[in-house]
Amino acid sequence: MKRKSLSATKKTLNFYLTKLKDPKLHKLYKLFSNNLTSLDVGNKKIMVGVSGGVDSLSVLFFSQCYAIKHKAKLYPVIIDHKLRKESTNEAKYLKHKLKKNFKIDCKILSKKITKIDKNIQSYARDLRYDLFLKECNKHNINYLLLGHHKDDLIENFFIRFVRGSGLKGLVSFYKNVINFNGIKIVRPFLSTSKKELINVNKKTFKFSLDDPTNNNDKFLRGRIRKLLKNLDKEGLSFDKFYLTLKNLSKSDQVIEFFVKKNINENSKYFRRDKKIILNQYFFKNPNEIILRSFMQIIQSISNKKNYPRGKKVISLINSLKLSNNKVKLTLSGCIVEKIADSVIIYPENR
């Protein structure tokens, strides 16, 4: 390596490691590092989602510090949704800025889309995760780091609450680590406020990009943010909210225990025939246990990313429970057939 290149590399290393001497940055890095250490990430490959917001840039900064200290391989990725005319230029600017000033080489991922008439933010989220997943699989990466923080935690709870989600939906954002099609999605700053991450950004990269749709009243998230500002004035604190969420999560864990028990004891999988048979005791549980157990089984047989819609599953379960005759129905790419006291589930196209 040429002397000039060695000098640039040393200067880059000094930038990151010197910044960590700041007490507040060091404290947050310790939280970040402990999250990864608990997963045994070590010197493995790590993908980081970079949107340009202060949250994702904070995760990128700490990821780079972690990569330097642990000799991990970093894969920073920028998603260009192409849902706004400015998005492509913003992605290019972000890539250029990080490469030129901070020696971080990001890859831009995008996909040609057709016109989206409704639920744009939901589409954008699904697109993000699909692109992340394909890139992780392509490079054999098992860890994806995202910049979600505790403000997102509160927002997502209320978004799901407004949409009528059940307990599982309300607490689904609570975990720092979730499994997504074989990839571990890690959110190290769910207990950290956006205000803290803004301060991180001011001390490190000192620039950020804002997506204007986040505060647009046209979208539910923008309206929820305004609602939360008003609730904050009425005394809603994160500590109070977090305690409630923690208690709800404990209840959810109890339900999941009995869901697992129901599946293990009252269903049998036949690998060669790609089918599952449920016995009569599968349906002798409380409704929530039956619903979740059935949804998990349908998803495993259909091999689809998302669970089937709750209303359709409830309707099908009621048909199975109320009928004394042979029943044959379809749901989410599966055939559900009742014969006597047993229910057989198998793919439509096998």
Domains of the chain by start residue, with CATH: 3-236 (3.40.50.620), 246-347 (3.30.465)
* Chain segment 203-225, per-residue pLDDT in tens: 999 999 987 766 667 777 778 88
Model confidence band, residue 9 (pLDDT cutoffs 50, 70, 90): low
DSSP labels for 99-164?
A: HHHH----EEEE-------S-HHHHHHHHHHHHHHHHHHHTT--EEE---BHHHHHHHHHHHHHTT
What pLDDT is attached to residue 47?
Answer: 97
DSSP labels for 199-214?
A: HHHHHTT------GGG
The pLDDT of 291-317, averaged and rounded, is: 84
The pLDDT of 12-38, averaged and rounded, is: 92
Residue 131 in this model has a pLDDT that exceeds 80:
yes
What pLDDT is attached to residue 159?
Answer: 85
> Quick check: 248 and 171 in contact, CB under 8 A?
yes
Look over the chain and give the mean of its residue pLDDT values, rounded to a whole number: 87
Strands 177-180 and 73-80: unpaired
Model confidence band, residue 2 (pLDDT cutoffs 50, 70, 90): low
* Higher local confidence (pLDDT), 3 or 200: 200
Model confidence band, residue 306 (pLDDT cutoffs 50, 70, 90): low
* CA atoms of 66 and 38, how far apart (whole Å): 14
Q: Tell how far CA 216 is from the center of its chain.
A: 22
* CA atoms of 278 and 286, how far apart (whole Å): 16
The pLDDT of 287-306, averaged and rounded, is: 87
Model confidence band, residue 234 (pLDDT cutoffs 50, 70, 90): confident
Model confidence band, residue 43 (pLDDT cutoffs 50, 70, 90): confident
* Chain segment 144-191, per-residue pLDDT in tens: 999 999 888 888 888 888 877 888 888 877 788 988 888 999 999 998
Nearest to 171 by CA among 152, 185, 182, 157: 157
